[in-house]
Amino acid sequence: MEISSKSSFYHIQLKDIFKIIGVLLVPLTLAIIIAQKQRQQDVDLAAQAEQERVLATYLQDLAALLLNKNTTFDKNSAASSVVRAKTLTTLIKMDAQRKRQVILFLYEAKLIKRNSKYASINLFDADLDNLDMSLSESKSKYYKTYDIMDIQLRGASLVNSSFKWCHLD
């Protein structure tokens, strides 16, 4: 009699095995999903940090060039070539928000402004896709238009870019 009770104790039905597997799979699946999302967040944060680092380096390097009294920006100068090369390689690595910061910096430094005392930096083939130069909702309440007159973007790629509320004439 004891032998039969032992055998019934070890006798597990297939449905019981599936229940046990199901109970174990739910936390395992959740752990995998959470780990994947965490990994993606880490990748995104690293990419954003890299873009911030590249932008900061770019702005520091250009500021140093602009502040150097011996630097000249004529069409064929070494400084103009350096700024163009550095700008094109930086823009490729940037998202739309940071591209906007680069363009505003160049514009305010009069490097991409027509008829300025500095020669305009050639942005031909620059990747300005998805650039959004529009006024934000909060600023559009105070300003009718955003004045970026005489901006020089000839030959730049502007696919899906927006200049809403910008005065370009």
Question: Cα(159)–Cα(161) distance, rounded to whole angstroms?
Answer: 5
Query: Are 100 and 136 in contact, with CB atoms under 8 Å apart?
Result: no
Q: Is the pLDDT of residue 86 over 80?
A: yes
Is residue 142 very low, low, confident or very high in pLDDT (cuts 50, 70, 90)?
A: low
Question: Cα(48)–Cα(26) distance, rounded to whole angstroms?
Answer: 33
Q: Is the pLDDT of residue 165 over 80?
A: no
Average pLDDT of span 11-30:
84
Share of the chain above pLDDT 70, in %: 83
- The mean of the pLDDT values for the chain is 83
Q: Is the pLDDT of residue 97 over 80?
A: yes
Question: Cα(112)–Cα(19) distance, rounded to whole angstroms?
Answer: 68
- Report residue 139 as tokens: 């600023």
- Report residue 165 as tokens: 């509320």
Average pLDDT of span 113-130:
81
Task: Kindly report, residue by residue over 29-80, the tens digit of the pLDDT.
Answer: 999 999 999 999 999 999 999 999 999 999 999 999 989 888 877 777 888 8
Average pLDDT of span 91-107:
92
- Return the pLDDT at 136: 62
Q: Is the pLDDT of residue 162 over 70?
A: yes
Which pTM was predicted? 0.73
Window from 14-18, 45-49, 90-94 with minimum mean pLDDT: 14-18
Is residue 1 very low, low, confident or very high in pLDDT (cuts 50, 70, 90)?
A: very low
Question: Cα(64)–Cα(58) distance, rounded to whole angstroms?
Answer: 10
